[in-house]
Structure 1
Amino acid sequence: MTRKFIDCREIPSEMNCTVAISADSEKELLEAAVQHAVAVHGHRDSAELRDMIKGAFKDGNPR
Structure 2
Amino acid sequence: MTPDQVHYGQADEVYAARQKILDRAFQANPERFVKKPPEPPFKPIAAWIKPAIQRFQIQA
**What range is the shorter-chain TM-score in?**
0.3 to 0.5
Could you tell me the TM-score, scaled by structure 1's length?
0.34
Q: Which has the larger share of strand?
A: 1
Larger Rg: 2
Could you tell me the TM-score, scaled by structure 2's length?
0.35
